[in-house]
């Protein structure tokens, strides 16, 4: 029995629904759904407390790269049926989900491994950027060292000034 595979990427400013993501990958042919929820965490950087994150994305390129990530996942785990990723844009306060993803497959092994690969590839290849906002009202764009275009050195923007 053949099931049509689904790839869903949603970039939005609204709070994310874990149930909506899980429902998007639900299938009678799948006995496993792996879920990853990435939450904005309270962190301290140089004596400043992170109060939230601000996300931006290049939406058209993000969709194109997401299709490539899904093809890559299916090459390594052909049993994967559905892939769904919802990512917040704009302001995300501490404690809220920044990303929710789910992958379904007939057996847990494939979906568990694929979900780990998916979050790694999302960070490395999908053009979504984040800026930390601190309790001091200062901000800092955060480089993701997993990105292929990364310079592997943090570049900061604090109060409108760039520094390394």
Neighbours of 77 (CB within 10 A): 18
Q: Which of 144, 124, 127, 110 is nearest to 32 (CA)?
A: 110
Q: What is the structure's pLDDT at 43? A: 86
Distance, CA of 104 to CA of 69 (rounded, Å) = 15
In a domain, 67, yes or no: yes
Q: Evaluate whether 12 touches 90 at the Cβ level (below 8 Å).
A: no
The proportion of the chain whose per-residue pLDDT surpasses 70, expressed as a percent, equals 85
DSSP strand pairing (82-88 vs 6-12): parallel
In a domain, 59, yes or no: yes
* Residue 164: both structure tokens together: 């390394």
Can you tell me which residue has the tokens 């759904």? 33
In a domain, 117, yes or no: yes
In a domain, 149, yes or no: yes
Domain boundaries, position 91: 6-163
Distance, CA of 7 to CA of 63 (rounded, Å) = 10
Residue 163 has pLDDT above 60, yes or no: no
Residue 160 has pLDDT above 70, yes or no: no
Q: What mean pLDDT comes out for the span 127-143? A: 89
5 — phi, psi (to 5°)?
-80, 145
CA 1 to chain centre: 31
In a domain, 32, yes or no: yes
Q: What is the structure's pLDDT at 85? A: 98
Least-confidence region, from 77-81, 86-90, 142-146? 142-146
The proportion of the chain whose per-residue pLDDT surpasses 90, expressed as a percent, equals 77
105 — phi, psi (to 5°)?
-155, 165
Q: What mean pLDDT comes out for the span 34-58? A: 93
In a domain, 1, yes or no: no
Distance, CA of 130 to CA of 110 (rounded, Å) = 30
Q: What mean pLDDT comes out for the span 4-21? A: 97
Q: What mean pLDDT comes out for the span 64-90? A: 98
Q: What is the structure's pLDDT at 2? A: 66
Q: What is the structure's pLDDT at 142? A: 78
Q: What mean pLDDT comes out for the span 113-127? A: 96
Q: What is the pLDDT of residues 22-31, one digit of tens each?
A: 999 999 999 9
In a domain, 109, yes or no: yes
Point out the annotated binding site for substrate. Answer: 107-108, 123, 130-132
The total domain count for the chain is 1
Distance, CA of 121 to CA of 116 (rounded, Å) = 9
In a domain, 88, yes or no: yes
pTM: 0.85
Point out the annotated binding site. Answer: 107-108, 123, 130-132
Domain of residue 95, CATH code: 3.90.1170.40
């Amino acid at each position: 029995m053949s099931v049509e595979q689904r790839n869903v990427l949603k970039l939005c400013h609204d709070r994310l629904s874990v149930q909506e993501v899980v429902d998007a990958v639900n299938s009678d042919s799948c006995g496993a759904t792996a879920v990853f929820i990435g939450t904005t965490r309270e962190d301290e950087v140089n004596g400043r407390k992170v109060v939230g994150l601000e996300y931006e994305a290049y939406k058209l390129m993000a969709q194109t790269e997401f299709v490539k990530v899904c093809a890559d996942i299916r090459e390594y785990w052909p049993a994967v049926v559905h892939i769904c990723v919802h990512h917040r844009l704009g302001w995300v306060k501490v404690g809220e989900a920044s990303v929710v993803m789910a992958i379904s497959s007939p057996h847990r092994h494939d979906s568990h491994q694929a979900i780990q690969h998916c979050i790694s590839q999302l960070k490395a290849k999908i053009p979504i950027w984040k800026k930390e906002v601190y309790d001091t009202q200062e901000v800092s764009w955060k480089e993701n060292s997993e990105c292929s275009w990364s310079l592997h050195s943090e570049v900061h923007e604090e109060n409108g000034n760039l520094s390394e």
